[in-house]
Chain A
Amino acid sequence: MKPAPFAYAKARSVAHAVELLSAHDDARIIAGGQSLVAMLNMRLAAPEILIDINDIPGLSEVSVEDGFLRIGALVRYAQAQRSPLVSTHAPLIARAIPHVAHAAIRSRGTLGGSVAFADPAAEMPACMLALGARIVIAGVDGEREVAIDDFFKGLYETAIGPAEMLVALRLPLHGPSRRVAFGEYARRRGDYAMVGLAATARAQGAGLADVRLAYFSVGLNAVRAQGAEAALEAGDVEGAVAALDGDLDPDGDIHASRDTKMHLAGALLRRVAAELSEAAQ
């Protein structure tokens, strides 16, 4: 389990990283490396060059800008978990992070890396989808923003182009009427989820509006359950569970059959629906 030979370059700036990406056909960016290094060691990936972005200044900040919480591409899980800005303005992220792998991995792994890698079983892509995040991407022509609903393109595929890199996640700020909930089933604590659900909503009287249910580990990408969202907005939890049959189309894997995934998706929805209806968070 030694990686195939690769070249290595340390990017000094985002512009430098993008320049290096443009110069090589088969380059990979390394940030925390928590998924990539395992793939390299198993020779599932054998890029020509690794572009290390860890020393690029300005990517490790969490800040509030223009009514959004901005999380830089190098912000580690452990850093986000300690950040008062994250717990105040993105409590969904704060709830999800303890489910992400183990402490050692959270110390190195980055939220941005998880979103860019787009593992269908990972927590962060689903959280972004539930929050309606905007993904900031840099290329040779500067920065652009992609709405999360347009970001995921397929298995490990995103709107990030071959010569582009993710530079930040921008999340709408949490407000008094916002509700969030998170849950996942894993065989062991810290494992990739068999089924997971990140959810947001707006409290409206006794009911919920603007429900966003983002399931993960049930398809090629994190996916919204729009039929269930509508049913929850109508106050019908069991109707929402029933609607999952139309919303989700998971394949079974070695840890859970399709039947199991659907059962657990329903169980999660009941739990999450109850959580969303709790008093102000």
Chain B
Amino acid sequence: MSGDVPSPLTALDRPNSYIGRAVPRPNLKRLTEGRGEYVSDISLPRMVHVVYVRSPHAHARIVSIDATAAKAAKGVVAVVTGAEIAQVCTPWVGVLSHMVGLKSAPQHPIAVDRACWQGEAVAAVVARTRALAEDAAALVEVEYEPLTPVTDMMTALDPETPVIHESLGDNLAFERNFSGGDPASAFAASDHVIEADFGFGRHTGVTLEPRAMVADFNPGTGRLTAYLGTQAPHMIQNILSIHLAMPESAIRVVCKDVGGSFGIKVHVYADEMATAALSKLLQRPVKFVADRLESFLTDIHARDHRVKGKVGVMADGTITAFEIDDVTGIGPYSVYPRTSAVEANQVVNLTGGPYTCPNYKARARVVFQNKNVTCQYRAVGHPIATAVTEGLVDLAAQKIGMDPVEIRRKNLVRDDAYPCASATGLKFEALSHHAALDKLLAMMDYPRLRAEQAEMRKKGVHRGIGFASFIEITNPGAAFYGVGGARISSQDGAVVRLDAAGAVTVQTSATEQGQGTEAVIAQVVATAVGVPLERVRVISGDTDQTPYGGGTWASRAAGIGGEAAWQAGKALRENVLAVAGAILQAEAGTLDVREGAVVDADTGRERMPLTELGRIVYFRPDTLPTGFQAELMAVRHYVPRGYPFAFTNGVQASYLEVEDGFVKLLGHWVVEDCGTILNPQLVDEQVRGGVVQGLGGALFEHCVYDSEGQLQNASMADYLVPMACEMPDIQVGHVVSPTADSELGAKGAGEAGTAGAPAAVMNAINDALSPFGAVVTDMPFTPDRILGALRAAKAAQGA
């Protein structure tokens, strides 16, 4: 799809630019040869392994813990309870001040007197090996007094439902009400008002590499080194410092290779805090690697929303008003420090976002329950807001007999209307809904697909086409967390250094999770400085080594970390040219750096290779003019200031067949606008990976709990991740509207796929089912649910 990338000449179009090129990632060979270094590969002298004894009950008082047998078992170093850990690690409360009214209860690394979900740790067993620790864990005798679990989020607020945390008074963590325009009058004046209830199952991230930590407290230095697969090393440094009562400078967080994150690894986990505390307690390295069962029980879950939706429409297709009422269950605690209220808040913010409709009413309630916690996972809130919005828009179109494309054309914000704001006050700098839709229709050959659909329907084959337009929040500034009091940097930095041999080293605060951050940073720096890509080496993920910054989340690594790297690279080039000017007795402005050499800017004639410049600077500075000091290391930081977020937009389409309750995906198309495309291959694969995770939520993935709060499918056999055999070809195209907030103009691309895919599939299934009068709105769309909807429709028609 490289043909999609337009090439107007900008500041980025330096000779031999790597920007906009699909260059191979520098870590590719290392990782594909099995030479990556993940946390589970780390083995330190005197290292011991911790296994957590976890509550089998969703809600239970811990009456007693008898560790006598476990402590005597082979290889056991210690058995530690919640009360003992509480002596070295303080509890936390996951709230943010700008989420007005958000409340939660103190959470300990290991439950102290009460377990609040199935899987919460109640004791730690430390032993020489993982296997010995598991053997001993089976010997820890915990006496529980089971308490009534709160599992149904729809009744969590009922007066007869027990309150999980007495001190909070009720099970309501957060509520937000919004009204914009005049929704009541708009609904009253509408030709039609359509209502529907949407359900979004709980699912989780299923990272290829599970969460893992090696915590190494060194009593000699008083420092703790935490090797952790995390998206935000500096955030973790701060949190460990607060709760272990150690200065930040005494904590080093090292993040080597990470086998996927998707938002799972940006939170504070009780068992990781306990691992750090154990290392401090035992004064030796402690390793924790979650096994897959623990991952399902303790990695954050996401979604679990039920949304009542309503849309008003005129006979001509004008959408008059949206209304939603969202309930979401977040488990027993709001997750620290980003909180579990963000997803519901995003649903309120984003619903109706692509459309001009100014009348909007919303309520969101976030409730506690005795299940695993939920928090931010890829495309936070977006798939929900998009599915509700796009589901309602399609139902409105169906009601008035309008093609789903036409109703979108009529109501999507015009491409020349920017800058503008949404009903909820989201500020849009420049979006391209109509251009994206035009491009999508051409890519999928919409008229041909409609003709094919009609032809197949005659043969009794039921195919459907579904669309989803969406907006996506990327490049967040301080508005997400900083303003709420969380010490989570929204700024990123880069240090770029030219060595004597002409090599360039970049230290970046952006982090690599497998998505290709290192590649993008290297491309940007190679272009900015003017050196071949292979001369650039990127260092990331080490709080002792890299600039202080945010890391990787909310689609920010390329847009924010990339811009910092660009500015630092440019600054280094200026410094190089100042040296070159002094050596060559030329005006620095007449020179440039290209392909690793200083050249005449006009002619490109080589004047001096950087290796020679480096030799002079480092080994013969005596030959430079008196008073001239070369600076071959440059530092720059960046945070977007013009807009709180860089919104992107896109549109997706799904083509599928429904038979016997099964959905066969035949094709999927995406056009998205992430501004400047730094590496088209990485962007396309981000989009494809995102689509697959969106399709997972729509069709397969579901953390199924029973009414007692027991997770029914905590294994890879029963929790269905989307697999290649069921995935369609995913065609990706682009429209490019760079943000003027940065010189690179790059916005985020990590979540667009996940944001739109579930809505597109839902609409396509409902298009396929339309001859039967059946509608599905409860994800995941399983054969049970599709066959159930068909039976219900048949019964309704028979009645």
Contact = CB atoms under 8 A, between A and B. Distances in A.
Contact of A264 (B660, B715, B717): B660
Interface string B723-747: 1011000000000000000000000
B293 A1 contact: yes
A5 B704 contact: no
Q: Max chain A CB contacts within 10 Å: which of B704, B725, B782, B783?
A: B783
Contacts of A3: 131
A189 B134 CA distance: 33
Contacts of B726: 188-189
A188 B134 contact: no
22 contacts: A1-B291, A1-B292, A2-B131, A3-B131, A4-B138, A42-B293, A43-B138, A185-B660, A185-B662, A188-B700, A188-B720, A188-B726, A190-B723, A192-B717, A194-B783, A255-B718, A259-B784, A259-B787, A260-B784, A263-B661, A263-B787, A264-B661
Please classify how large the interface on chain B is, using the bins under 10, 10 to 19, 20 to 34, 35 or more. 20 to 34
A267 interface: yes
Interface string B219-247: 00000000000000000000000000000
Contacts of B725: 188-190
A2 B49 CA distance: 13
Nearest to A38: B717
Given A2-B130, A257-B784, A260-B783, A187 B720 contact: yes
Contacts of B712: 254
A191 interface: yes
Nearest to B719: A254
A254 B701 CA distance: 12
Contacts of B138: 4, 43
A38 B291 CA distance: 13
Given A187-B782, A259-B787, A263-B661, 5 more contacts: A188-B720, A189-B725, A254-B718, A256-B784, A260-B787
A254 B130 CA distance: 32
B717 A2 contact: no
Q: Max chain A CB contacts within 10 Å: which of B704, B713, B725, B784?
A: B784
Nearest to A271: B660
Contacts of A2: 130-131, 134
Contacts of B662: 185
Contacts, number: 63
Contacts of A263: 660-661, 787
B791 interface: yes
Contacts of B589: none
B135 A5 contact: yes
- Which 5 pairs, one residue from A and one from B, show the smallest C-beta to C-beta distance? A189-B725, A2-B131, A1-B291, A267-B660, A2-B134
Contacts of A191: 717, 720
B788 interface: yes
Contacts of B782: 187, 255
Contacts of A187: 700, 720, 782-783
Interface string A1-29: 11111000000000000000000000000
Contacts of B791: 259
Interface string A168-209: 000000000000000001011111101000000000000000
B409 to A, nearest CB: 36
Contacts of A189: 723, 725-726
Contacts of A254: 704, 712-713, 718
Interface string A240-281: 000000000000001111011001100100000000000000
Interface in B122-165: 130-131, 134-135, 138
A8 to B, nearest CB: 15
Contacts of B720: 187-188, 191
Contacts of A192: 717
B131 A259 contact: no
Contacts of B293: 1, 42
Interface string B774-799: 00000000111001100100000000
Nearest to A257: B784
Interface string B283-305: 00000000111000000000000
A192 B788 CA distance: 22
A260 B291 contact: no
Contact of B135 (A1, A4, A190, A255): A4
A185 to B, nearest CB: 7
A259 B788 contact: yes
Contacts of A190: 723, 725
Nearest to A1: B291
Interface string B406-425: 00000000000000000000
A188 B723 contact: yes
A76 B542 CA distance: 48
Contacts of B717: 38, 191-192
A164 B259 CA distance: 45
A255 B784 CA distance: 8
A253 to B, nearest CB: 9
Nearest to A194: B783
B108 to A, nearest CB: 25
Interface string B698-721: 001000100000001101011010
A5 B136 CA distance: 11
Contacts of A257: 784, 788
Interface in A63-81: none
Nearest to B780: A187
Nearest to B723: A188
A264 B660 CA distance: 7
A4 B137 CA distance: 11
Given A187-B700, A188-B720, A254-B712, A260 B130 contact: no
A243 B783 CA distance: 23
Contacts of A264: 660-661, 783
A255 B723 CA distance: 16
Nearest to A101: B717
A55 to B, nearest CB: 25
A267 B658 CA distance: 14
Nearest to B130: A2
Contacts of B134: 1-2, 43
Contacts of A256: 783-784
Contacts of B722: 188
A42 B135 CA distance: 12
Contacts of B131: 2-3
A192 B720 CA distance: 11
A194 B718 CA distance: 12
A188 B293 CA distance: 21
A112 to B, nearest CB: 22
Q: Max chain B CB contacts within 10 Å: which of A254, A263, A267?
A: A254
Interface string B186-217: 00000000000000000000000000000000
